[in-house]
Amino acid sequence: MCGIIGYVGNEECAPILLEGLRRLEYRGYDSAGVAVHDGTQLNVRRAAGKLTALGDSLARSPVHGTTGIGHTRWATHGKPAERNAHPHVSGDIAVVHNGIIENHVELKHALRAKGREFLSDTDTEIVAHLVDIETTAGATLFEAVRATLKQLRGAYAIAVISKRDAHTLVLAKNASPLVLGVGDGVMLAASDVPALLAHSRDVIFLEDGELAEITREGARIETLAGAKVERAPVRITWSLMQAERGGYKHFMLKEIHEQPRAIEDTLRGRVSWEDASLEPAEMGISAADVAGIRRVVFLACGTSFHAALHGRYLLEGLARVPAVAELASEFRYRDPVIGAGDLVVAVSQSGETADTLAAAKEAKERGARILAVVNVQGSAIARMAHGTLYTHAGPEIGVASTKCFTAQLAALTMLAIHLGRCRDTLSADRAGALLREFVQIPNKMRTVLETAKHVETVARSILHTRDALFLGRGLSSAVALEGALKLKEISYVHAEGYAGGEMKHGPLALVDRDMPVVCLLPTDSTLEKMLSNVQEVRARDGNVIAVVDDETVAKDLATHTLRIPPTLEPFTPLLSIVPLQLLSYYVADLRGTDVDQPRNLAKTVTVE
């Protein structure tokens, strides 16, 4: 996730671009840059670090002009550094990009063969080269971008500026957001509405597969195939603060709704949408790495630990390799037996959690191989690991992890399928069936999100509870732990997650008519056993809230049901966690807590 901005008008645009980028900084903040046309040439300025670094650079040596593009970056390809910051330039062309170009490796090879040299590690730089090739051959900027887009596979929102035209920008969108702002003698473009609001409240949302040319006079929009698009602007009535959260009341709710996109971005370039095959080069773990693995040890804390539990179940199931999941905060303090032959998978959203970092370092010193599964590029855990499998959830602002958790589940599921194939414990047929279902999951998640209103009603029914239990078996046991953690961290309701089979060993004593018991009952290999556990709860008058993919399952047992679509067992957690996140969110919001910044907690825990 990155933020892009473009401006064509009559005012000095560098301050306008900077202000727009400030409104987009939530989308990425590891480096930033602008390209401004001064009437004669393009002036490009870039800086690593937060936006203030670019602001300082522009204050020291301003760039002038009334047409420009800007970018704030959240690294996906190439670590955060000035050379990887956008805009990327080739000849007369400068480009900013949000998204991932899936076929960038093959395009780069082809461009190198034509003598093109690359100055960055990004996938974006190829776009600048491709457009430059077309304009050098005589195409207009609009047609050059169109010809370039036809060669790209993946997600993009791009803005392109050319030295040859001081008053035009070309924009295009596919699977990454892009909106145009219409003003009086002014046109803007941005990744999100807040960046435009100071200059325009009339906006045109571009659709996938469309490109636009903007000048002071207005916009010309066409599809990639060349059909003209007439779309009237819509008036935005949100306040700036509402707009920054995409109209959602809290970042957490926005991030819950961003999950389908986070999963798509995490799969992108690694699972082919066309034929549902795995593209292992992007997985950060080679066949040679796999050959030497004796055991897999997951290290993580909090929500990431729950994702690690999911990874452990799936690795054992699909790749038949012994796997354990350890709390990183405990691991170092028991003189662990670990070394060569162990693959340590360090799972962390921030990549900076002190306990996970220290535990992974200790394992590395003892000879283990370290694979990081992190969301933040260039973070400490990514830097110390031998390899990294990035989740591409984009920046997560709410302290309660939601989209990063499901992106971790997706990454670890890919890893398990990959290892299963490498070790030949998973047949090509079964892997194919899994991957075909995998690419359906984002849309299935969207159907779960559509039930949010119903989940809010259920939340209202348990609003005043002091305690809650969450039960699941097999893969759903990690979901039960995560559901309980979500509820307690943002609503301050005491909640416990249990493996269903453990109920009779103690927690059943807590159950009475006042106790909400959230039971995960997807149709999977543990359903029958789970139903016996739910009967035990019902026999004590417990208030059962059932997460089901088949309403008939919980009939006569549940006070409320939360519905998810049926899926294959390994993917159930990706769907069943969503209503639990929503349930926690609504309970917290209705209780009036500070949802995005719960008391006593921090987004990144850098103390041991």
List the catalytic residues.
2, 603
**Integer Cα distance of 602 and 594 in angstroms:** 13
Which stretch, 95-103, 396-404, 467-475, 508-516, contacts ligand AGP (CB under 6 A)?
A: 396-404
406 binds ligand AGP (CB under 6 A): no
Least Cβ distance, residue 400 to ligand AGP (angstroms): 4
Per-position x/- string for 73-92, each x denoting binding to ligand AGP as judged by CB under 6 A, each - no binding = --------------------
Which residue's structure tokens are 């041991």?
608
Supply the minimum distance, in Å, between the C-beta of residue 491 and ligand AGP.
13
The region of 115-123, 168-176, 562-570, 598-606 touching ligand AGP under the rule CB under 6 A is 598-606
Q: Look up residue 592 and give its amino acid.
A: G
Which residues, in sequence order, are CB contacts of 110 under 8 Å at separation 6+? none
Min dist. Cβ of residue 248 to ligand AGP (A): 18
**Does the footprint of ligand AGP cover residue 570 (CB under 6 A)?**
no
Sequence-distant (6+) residues with CB within 8 A of 569 are 474, 475, 522, 524, 525
CB-nearer residue toward ligand AGP: 90 or 391: 391
**Cα distance between residue 207 and residue 221, in whole Å:** 10
Segment interacting with ligand AGP, rule: CB under 6 A, options 69-77, 108-116, 138-146, 297-305 = 297-305
Q: Which of 90, 304, 533, 584 binds ligand AGP (CB under 6 A)?
A: 304
Beta bridge partners of 160: 95, 170
Question: In the bound complex, what is the minimum distance in angstroms from residue 84's beta carbon to ligand AGP?
Answer: 23
- The residue (of 352 and 569) whose beta carbon lies closer to ligand AGP is 352
266 binds ligand AGP (CB under 6 A): no
Segment contacting ligand AGP by CB under 6 A, of 34-42, 256-264, 348-356, 429-437? 348-356
Q: Of 399 and 416, which CB lies nearer to ligand AGP in the complex structure?
A: 399
14's tokens: 């560098």
What minimum distance in Å lies between the beta carbon of 546 and ligand AGP? 24
| Alpha helical stretches, state H, 178-267 | 240-244, 251-257, 259-267
Residue from 57, 122, 303, 572 in contact with ligand AGP (CB under 6 A): 303
Least Cβ distance, residue 329 to ligand AGP (angstroms): 10
- If one asks whether residue 356 binds ligand AGP (CB under 6 A), the answer comes out as yes
What the block records as the tokens of 415 is 């890893």
CB-based contact 515:486 (threshold 8 Å): no
Q: Name the residue among 123, 162, 107 with its Cα closest to residue 139.
A: 162
Question: Closest CB to ligand AGP among 155 and 493?
Answer: 493
We find the least distance from the C-beta atom of residue 479 to ligand AGP, in angstroms, to be 14
Among 301, 318, 458, 503, binds ligand AGP (CB under 6 A): 301
199 vs 310, beta carbon nearer ligand AGP:
310
Q: Which of 302, 472, 500, 516 binds ligand AGP (CB under 6 A)?
A: 302
How crowded is residue 17: how many other Cβ atoms within 10 Å of its Cβ? 29
Q: How far is CA 377 from CA 349, 364, 389, in A?
A: 10, 20, 10
**21 or 411, CB closer to ligand AGP?**
411
The alpha carbon dihedral of 391, 265, 396, 304 has a sign of negative
Which span (90-98, 141-149, 260-268, 301-309) binds ligand AGP, by CB under 6 A?
301-309
442: tokens are: 């984002």
Report how many residues bind ligand AGP under the rule CB under 6 A: 16
Q: Of residues 115-134, which lie at the interface with ligand AGP (CB under 6 A)?
A: none
Backbone angles phi, psi at 97, to 5 degrees: -145, 140
d(CA 377, CA 80): 7
Residue 350 interacts with ligand AGP (CB under 6 A): yes or no: yes
Judged by DSSP in three states, 27 sits in: helix
Residue nearest to ligand AGP (CB): 302
At residue 304, what are phi and psi to the nearest 5 degrees? -65, -30
* Binding of residue 401 to ligand AGP (CB under 6 A): yes
If DSSP codes are grouped into helix, strand and coil, which group holds residue 463?
A: coil
Residue 400 touches ligand AGP, criterion: CB under 6 A: yes
Residue 455: is it exposed, middle or buried by C-beta count within 10 angstroms (0-12/13-18/19+)?
A: buried
Here the tokens at position 592 are 């009036």
d(CA 39, CA 13): 13
Backbone angles phi, psi at 319, to 5 degrees: -105, 0
- Considering the complex, what minimum distance in angstroms separates the CB of residue 237 from ligand AGP? 33
> 181 vs 573, which CB is nearer to ligand AGP?
573
348 binds ligand AGP (CB under 6 A): yes
329 Cβ neighbours under 8 A, 6+ residues apart: 301, 355, 359, 608
- Smallest distance from the beta carbon of 499 to ligand AGP, in angstroms? 19
**Which among 198-206, 345-353, 412-420, 457-465 is the span making contact with ligand AGP, rule CB under 6 A?**
345-353
**Minimum CB distance to ligand AGP, residue 302 (Å):** 2
Q: What separation in angstroms does the CA of 558 have from each of 205, 458, 480, 567? A: 43, 12, 17, 22
Strand, helix or coil for residue 478: helix
Stretch that binds ligand AGP, among 28-36, 207-215, 295-303, 556-564 (CB under 6 A): 295-303
Binding flags for ligand AGP, 481-520, as an x/- string (CB under 6 A): --------x-------------------------------
Cβ distance 170 to 135 under 8 Å? no
Question: Pick from 349, 391, 406, 533: which binds ligand AGP (CB under 6 A)?
Answer: 349
Question: In angstroms, rounded to a whole number, what is the distance separating the alpha carbons of residues 484 and 470?
Answer: 6
Residues engaged in binding ligand AGP (CB under 6 A): 301-304, 348-350, 353, 356, 399-401, 489, 601, 604-605
